[in-house]
Structure 1
C-alpha cells in the first residue's frame, strides 16, 4: 500500500538569494495536494514567509511525516541530523552546487515531487555515526553525523598523532594532518578528497582515511561497523568535527569513540533512481 503523507516540513537554504519564490511555489503546490505545510523556524524567519506554521526541527520531526529540503548537501546534513531520532523521511531538492544527497534538480522539483507524494518512489536508508569525546573516562562531548567524524591538527604547523583501535584491537599509531572516519554516505565527501574509495551506501562498514599521512603506507582502509577509537597521543590544539558540530582544543589522552548510531536517515528518491546513476551524473564517474 502506498505511503500517504499528511503533514510536510519544508526546510530551505535561506541564505541563498532568490530562494523565497521557490519555497513559496513548493509550499503552495503541497497545499494544493491537500497536505498541511510547516516551515522550519529559521527558514520562515529569514524568508518572511508567514502563511504557514513555523516549527523547530524537533517539532517538525515529531509532527510531520515528510521533509522537503531545498538547498545543498550541507542543508540536508544539518536537518537530517536534527530529525534523525524521529525517522522522518526526506526528499532533497538541489539549490546548491554538487547536490549529491539533494538529488532532485531545482528546475524539475514539481515533476519529481508529484509521484513521490503519491507513494511512487524509491526508499533508501543511510547509516549514521554517533560518538563522544572521553576525557579521563568521562564524556565531555557527543555528536551525531551522517557523513563523517574528522579529527584534525590545530592551526599551528605540525601533525597530530593518534592511536587507533577497532573493537578493542590495536590498529596503528598514525601521524597525519588528521583522520577521517566516514560512513558510506561520507565516502563521496571529504574522504574522497583524501584518497578514499567510494562505498555503496548499503555496505555495513566504515572508511578510515588519514589526511596527508607522514608514512605513505598509511592508506585508507574499509572497516566493519564496530567501534573506532582514536586517542590523542601528540599534537597541539587538535579538534574533532561530527559533520558540522565541532569541539576544539583536544588534549593529550582524549579519546574519540565512534560507532554506528541506532538512528538512520531515510531518503526518498524518484522511481528508477540508482546510486550508480548519481555517481555518473554528479562525479562524472566512469565517464567516457
Structure 2
C-alpha cells in the first residue's frame, strides 16, 4: 500500500512559525525536531527571526513577528507561559493562533508537554483542536495630560512600589466615578488569564477564561476592607498616583514605566484578542487541579 504524500495529508495549517525560549538548554535541538515533525505533516516551516538568530538556525526561512500576519497560519511556541505572554502581546489582533508547548512544568497557556508533542501536534495541524480566545488589557500612562507610554497586557497591569520604599497611595476611579483611595503595596488590574498569576497570590478569585470581566486586586492593602472586585469588561479603570516613592507600573511583569505623583494609568479591555489552541479534550479544570494541587493532601506536594 502506498503511503500518503505530504500534500495529501489533511491539514488546517500549512504555514507554521516556531518561536522558542532561546535561553533554555537544548532549545536548538528541540526546535529542529519540531521543524522536522511539521515538515512531515506537509507544513511550510518558518523560524521566528529573533529565535533563529540567537540559536543559529539556518535550515529554515525566518520571519519577524511583525511579518506573521497574513503570512503565517499558526505560531508554535516552545518555552513557558512567560514566552507565551511576550509573543501573545505581539500577535494580538493578527488572527494568528498560538499553540504552547512547555519544556518542564505545566503551564496555564503552554499546556502541551514536550514529551507528548509527537502525538498531539499532528492532530492540531490536521484540525483536531479546541480554540480559546483570550482578552488583553490596553493601558495608557498619562503625565500632565499627555501619554508617556502605551502598552498591552495579556495577564495584568500592576502599579506597585519598589522593594525598599513605603506604601503607595492610589486614587481609583471607574468610568470617571470615584471608587476609593487606597494605601497599599500596589494594585493589580487583571484579565481572566492573569487571574491565576500575580492576582491569585494577592487573594484574588480565579476567573474562567470565558468570563467577561476585569479584576482589581489590592496588594497588601493597609485597610482589610479593600478587597478584590470583578468589574464589567466595558469599563475604564483610572489609577492616579497620589503619593509614594519609587512607584512603577508593570505590564505582564515584562516591561515597566517609572511613575511620579500625579501620573494616571488608564486601563481598559483591548479590542485585540489572541487565540490559543488546545488538544481535543482540553480541560481548564484539569489544568487547575494539576497546577494548584486540588484534591491532594498537603503532605503529597
TM-score (norm 1): 0.96
What does 1:99-118 correspond to in 2, within 5 Å? 99-118=107-126
CA contact (8 A) 1:38 1:53 kept: yes
CA contact (8 A) 2:12 2:126 kept: yes
TM-score (norm 2): 0.92
The gaps in structure 2 that reach 5 residues or longer are 1-9
What does 1:230-269 correspond to in 2, within 5 Å? 230-269=239-278
CA RMSD of aligned residues (A): 1.4
Structure 1 counterpart of 2:288, from 272, 279, 283: 279
Matches of 1:249 and 1:91, distance apart in 2: 33
Q: Post-superposition shift, 1:287?
A: 3.9
1:75 aligns with 2:71: no
Structure 2 counterpart of 1:165, from 173, 177, 191: 173
CA contact (8 A) 1:143 1:245 kept: no
Q: Post-superposition shift, 1:245?
A: 4.4
Q: Post-superposition shift, 1:156?
A: 3.2
Matches of 1:64 and 1:162, distance apart in 2: 43
Tell me the SS of whatever aligns to 1:20.
Answer: helix
Matches of 1:159 and 1:200, distance apart in 2: 31
Q: Post-superposition shift, 1:286?
A: 4.2
What does 1:59-208 correspond to in 2, within 5 Å? 59-208=67-216
Higher Cα Rg: structure 1 or 2?
2
Q: Post-superposition shift, 1:96?
A: 4.5
CA contact (8 A) 1:129 1:144 kept: yes
Matches of 2:128 and 2:11, distance apart in 1: 9
Structure 1 consecutive aligned stretches of length 4 or more whose deviation exceeds 4 Å: none
CA contact (8 A) 2:47 2:62 kept: yes
| Counterpart position of 1:228 | 237
Tell me the SS of whatever aligns to 1:109.
Answer: helix
1:23 aligns with 2:31: yes
CA contact (8 A) 1:38 1:60 kept: no
The gaps in structure 1 that reach 5 residues or longer are none
CA contact (8 A) 1:237 1:248 kept: no
Which one is further off, 278-287 or 110-119? 278-287
CA contact (8 A) 2:38 2:122 kept: no
CA contact (8 A) 2:104 2:113 kept: no
Tell me the SS of whatever aligns to 1:85.
Answer: coil
Q: Tell me how many residue pairs correspond in the alignment.
A: 287
